[in-house]
Structure 1
């Protein structure tokens, strides 16, 4: 029986939560988009559906998410999880709030959990405020995000600005010292018209406490840490073996980075000192159709190298702002995504079978370019970032959220190849 159905608002978020659940012992299958057929679940514990709904128009995100939810219900999955980024990536218009509201109505959920905490990655909640490695969300670098700049750290303020209900906050003292009273506290919050509950969380034990207290919620929302806690509470998880993929060393690998996050900038800086690297020229992407052939040839000529060559559009925020002011943010983002999709497809035809990808939008583009419809989830390279094997292919992909991993991530990922 499928214990949990997950609807993720981007591709890296999907692999993120799938990886966390695998590390807790669950068997997880990830689909790229809503499948157009039934799935023989077998002993699968969770199904994750990766959407590309984070930054699209609200009505499209809602419709896409409801379609995913309905498919999960046809698979016998009544409990569902709406997965978004641990930095609550959204705008005052959405899409987290509107999608949550739509799913609550569809699943008849009178209250839900709003839980972006991932202590393993430094995402914690205190007094209802979201912290990133000790810094308030709006002072963590996320305030400069080109698509979803985060200007506040109060999850209550962020959620209520884009949703139709009120948030209630349950304090750290209650979570840590009065877990036996959480049920009555939830009832009290609901009686006070709270529709979304925010629990203070500092560590994984807090997550387990919150997961246990909300185990009867038909819908929960949040980041990957909650997925781990739900899986870890399951009685089968403690004895389950780790997933292995046996990634082949033969074939060629490439690093593709489109994220502009602070951590990915560090990772690109670290890696380009150790491997062949090519910074994409946005002007040429926009104006020169032959540029794809040029970049493909550059990567192919370095297919024998270890570490693998890197192609990146990652730039400091001030450079991105200048480019976007000239051409428009949406136009530039779309052109870069289309280029990465085409580049991945071109490289696959040249024998590349391992793709290390950084950035949510870039990951979505690469999976589309490679025509990936499903993946088997393996062991993580970093918390929430696993190697995955494309279903029915000798092809392996890492889809990394921009903020995840340490500076040496791209190098560390390549240490898992079989010799």
Structure 2
């Protein structure tokens, strides 16, 4: 059976966000952490959607040219292929270029491509091509967002997504604006755009439903954007009777101990670290320069501290920062994430943990890659954009491990303890 949908995630946190949307929509899905061979695919015969988790948001355009075509091919034949970006769309011409990924996808799958970034389920909104994102009780234009405007690697300095992409690609970008969608003129606006790629506004689920219906009706093969793409398709599939509503999901059981590994410098994560310490979690701050120099002694120090605390039945947080680092901090999310992942791997193999939380996009992508996991499947809801997932791995210590992969902005102050309790 041809999958309804396939996606490549530009980081691991966003990749599990898509798993959540598919699970809520009643679409059995699997997220591969390596290009799947036939034997691995055969372990998930009921999957109607497949994903491949990647780390392209921290990579160069040259890396994308070398690796993305094969990654798209590894997804196999699907009705639509989605290049999944963060809902904050942060990217730059030299790092995580969404424009370059768009060019590669268009070459392989043909034009036109849809660009859907609005994800109201995550409080991300696109109106008249401008992106807005919430933090706490407030919503900000993305170039004025207190965190994303100052991201250490890919700060968002432009809210108009067409202008933002113009710095990354020469591909003409058309636009379907909000007022035309609300007036029932989405088809006419799409035809009038007449461009190789078309950006769709979206503020509410009704806007996504209209977009999803157009994607199905026009047979588009390629899309770029947040899990708003997935949500639009799920709504359209359900409206067309292609998938049925699933039963309400069961909550996950609590665990007695939780390991948290954080490379995030988000204020939201900083508040979570502080709250966890107040809740009795033990915590240790990593010597980041030592990790970036590849000093195994620092990795051993962090792992030993975590293992001892977990043996004493305490939950534990290993973290690299407590909030923003400032513009002078080195952009080294890939190396830091890999080092923290090696720490986590040491702890998992000595402490026999049932559940681990990774915080931060680069930490999740490069950290989880150190664990030897073949695939992830959705397990239970925890927080929008950060579900509980279950690992499939050859290593019996890792096989069945439960993980939550959280972007820096996700969750209230008590998020760590909610993950430990199961939601």
Task: Give the TM-score, by structure 2 length.
Answer: 0.89
Contact preservation (8 Å) 1:25, 1:232: no
Distance 1:214 1:78, change over 3 A: closer
Contact preservation (8 Å) 2:130, 2:160: yes
Aligned to 2:215: 214
- Any residues of structure 2 matched to 1:66-145 within 5 Å, and which? 66-73=69-76, 76-93=77-94, 95-108=97-110, 110-133=111-134, 134-140=139-145, 141-145=147-151
**Partner secondary structure for residue 238 of structure 1:** coil
Superposition deviation, residue 308 in structure 1: 1.7
Which segments of 5 or more consecutive residues in structure 1 lack a partner in the other structure?
Answer: none
The answer to whether 1:406 aligns with 2:412 is yes
Aligned to 1:9: 10
Task: Give the TM-score, by structure 1 length.
Answer: 0.89
How many residues are matched? Answer: 401
Superposition deviation, residue 80 in structure 1: 0.8
**Partner secondary structure for residue 373 of structure 2:** coil
Find 2:275's aligned residue among 270, 278, 282.
Answer: 270
Alpha-carbon displacement from aligned partner over 1:107-144 (angstroms, at most 9, x marks no partner): 12x21111111112211011110001221101112111
Which segments of 5 or more consecutive residues in structure 2 lack a partner in the other structure?
Answer: 394-398
- Any residues of structure 2 matched to 1:8-407 within 5 Å, and which? 8-37=9-38, 39-40=41-42, 41-73=44-76, 76-93=77-94, 95-108=97-110, 110-133=111-134, 134-140=139-145, 141-178=147-184, 181-190=185-194, 194-215=195-216, 216-234=219-237, 235-242=241-248, 249=255, 252-274=257-279, 275-286=281-292, 288-303=295-310, 308-317=315-324, 319-324=325-330, 329-330=331-332, 333-350=333-350, 351-391=352-392, 393-407=399-413
Contact preservation (8 Å) 1:247, 1:396: no
Contact preservation (8 Å) 1:360, 1:401: yes
Contact preservation (8 Å) 2:25, 2:245: no
Superposition deviation, residue 416 in structure 1: 1.5
Contact preservation (8 Å) 1:72, 1:78: no
**Partner secondary structure for residue 214 of structure 1:** helix
Contact preservation (8 Å) 1:271, 1:408: yes
List structure 1 segments (4+ residues) > 6 angstroms apart after TM superposition.
none
Superposition deviation, residue 103 in structure 1: 0.9
| Aligned counterparts of 1:272 and 1:395: Cα–Cα separation in 2 | 24
Superposition deviation, residue 13 in structure 1: 1.1
| Aligned counterparts of 1:385 and 1:343: Cα–Cα separation in 2 | 22
Superposition deviation, residue 105 in structure 1: 1.3
Instruction: Give me the CA root mean square deviation.
Output: 2.2
| Aligned counterparts of 1:409 and 1:362: Cα–Cα separation in 2 | 17
